[in-house]
Structure 1
């Protein structure tokens, strides 16, 4: 016997169906959310992740935890997230090393950019160069000193293929420097050598460079961003002396591919709100980090532009991640 529905019942049924659809579309974490940081504690990526996690916790109604998984030029941490369940509970706080540089230079990486779903562009980070006492402490004088001492002036970075290694390679190529690079496993050991006087200079993120300057045993020459940091107006950029010489990395949250759109949308809202929070922005600036934000589509477009920008340099220099 066919079932008939009266006209008066239709609006109620439609409202019920719409409510059910909204309930299915909504997403909230059911347990703590983990942000994997593929670097050791204490560096700029870790600092950024912890500030954002702290602000995202009340917005998501679940604890947002930071789990450091360093090693293999960020490959270990990235692989963990690429293979995690795509349920919104595991995120990667990537830097430019992980998803801009590694895919361009890596051999047999256990992940590819398509293994991740962009969530939000959290921040950008210009590098700074800090030098020990006895090394010229202005940008033009430093460049002249390196040119006058080919192969003798040392600079530290986070290992071959790291973003600050690539930034240093760009400076070397652009300015024609024979600058002796020394790779380290993270910021802390190179900072220790700089402060001990056994390393001439370091090219690092702001948290480490500012720590060096605050120690009184090193000085910041300048930054590799397009403009001066608003909280450090007296510290110049390389671009002021050498127009176009800009090298800025980035931090962003990504989820495993195939994470439901509803989860991406909720995580984006929380991450963008964290980046826009006045206290978070101020604390990031104090570490030399500039908050960003935007939609997942904005972040994807940014990642595409970054790959297009750095690819030609890496091909010219034939830098490979072994």
Structure 2
């Protein structure tokens, strides 16, 4: 795992941006044709610690890619800086299709924080989508609340006494919690982790009181009864947990969701990008993967590279509106 290095905020934001698929030089096209891809293992980088939705979704896709393309697609976790450490390492990797990044809402949020980010000159190209899914407001089972209104009342009656988990700076878990804090008129302390997995472990053990995360990450703890879900972050109820009300029922301006996809270093040959896009879309259509996605409330994101790039940039614009609200002063 590479060591974290101090870099400028501008560099972090620049690494998080995306570009359209870059044009291929004749030499690159010849190389791609001369050596069929993939001819060796592919590294699929996860920007967070094990146990989160990014890793769980990626594992399902990589298993299918390994079978269909005849080479291992190996998951490698590189947590740090809310996903920026992994983003930076993949952006600087050889543009040959053998190092890919599992992207998440953290990349979208970082790009949204940079008003000058455009497709031109960015360090990653969009390969394919994976899924969109709602987040859940989760609490430790010992917290004396069982509904969203009870939680809000308890938080307001105990200002500054609750601790909330974050999967890292710039993540959808943190921004959802901060948007909830702002709209709910409450105060609490935030505890940062290097991914959802460690935060959920501390939530179950009572070291923190609450957090936002998705059903894919929290499923095992929810089934065991160690944590409790109070509400869903989207305006629609989750198919997997239909009894959970949307946060918007109580805080009308609240709405967030997780957004997951795949990126590659800029200048990766278009033929490779398009091959991966087709294969990932084929994997998403697999009935077994569709069943797993449905179990955690994930909606597949399908389409060619152009469709996914447009979807990604629409998500950036949405978060540009949300970030100022979530970042309001305490």
What TM-score comes out, normalization by structure 2 length? 0.80
Equivalent residue runs for 1:48-87 within 5 Å: 48-87=57-96
Query: Quick check: 1:250 aligned with 2:256?
Result: no
Corresponding residue for residue 194 of structure 1: 203
- Structure number, greater radius of gyration: 1
1:119 aligns with one of 127, 147, 151: 127
Provide Cα deviations, 1:256-314, integer angstroms capped at 9, x if missing partner: 11111111111000111112222112213333433221111111112211221222443
Once the two structures are superposed, the pairs formed by residues 1-322 of structure 1 within 5 Å of their partners are 24=33, 28-97=37-106, 99-105=107-113, 114-132=122-140, 133-315=142-324
Question: Alpha-carbon deviation of 1:316?
Answer: 5.6
Q: Deviations over 1:67-98 (max 9, x none)?
A: 1111222122112211112122221101111x
Residue 167 of structure 1, CA deviation: 1.2
Runs of 5+ in structure 1 lacking a partner? 1-20, 107-111
Q: What is the CA–CA distance in structure 2 between the aligned matches of 1:252 and 1:26, rounded to whole Å?
A: 26
Quick one: structure 1 residues 163 and 25, their matched pair in 2 at CA, closer, same or farther if it must change by over 3 Å?
farther
Mapped partners of 1:52, 1:78: distance in 2: 19
- More displaced 10-residue stretch of structure 1: 138-147 or 193-202: 193-202
CA distance in 2, matches of 1:292, 1:159: 24
Q: Contact 1:26–1:262 (CA<8 Å) still a contact in 2?
A: no
Residues 312 and 231 (structure 1), Cα distance of their counterparts in 2 relative to 1, 3 Å cut: closer
Displacement of 1:229 in angstroms is: 2.2
C-alpha separation in 2, matches of 1:280 and 1:131: 29
Pair 1:243–1:273, CA change in 2 (3 A): farther
Cα distance 1:292–1:136, how it changes in 2: closer, same or farther (>3 A)?
Answer: same
Residues of 2 paired with 1:161 and 1:196: CA distance?
A: 25
Is contact 2:134-2:234 (8 Å) kept?
yes
Distance in 2 between the 1:244 and 1:277 partners? 36
Query: What count of residue pairs does the alignment treat as equivalent?
Result: 293
SS in 1 for 2:186: coil
- Which range moves more in the overlay, 124-133 or 173-182? 173-182
Report the alpha carbon displacement of residue 104 of structure 1 after superposing the two structures with TM: 4.0
In the alignment, the residues of structure 2 paired with residue 52 and residue 314 of structure 1 have an alpha-carbon distance, to the nearest angstrom, of: 30
Task: Indicate the RMSD between aligned Cα atoms, in angstroms.
Answer: 2.6
Provide the rounded CA distance (Å) in 2 between the counterparts of 1:215 and 1:276: 30
Q: Which moved more, 1:217-226 or 1:115-124?
A: 217-226
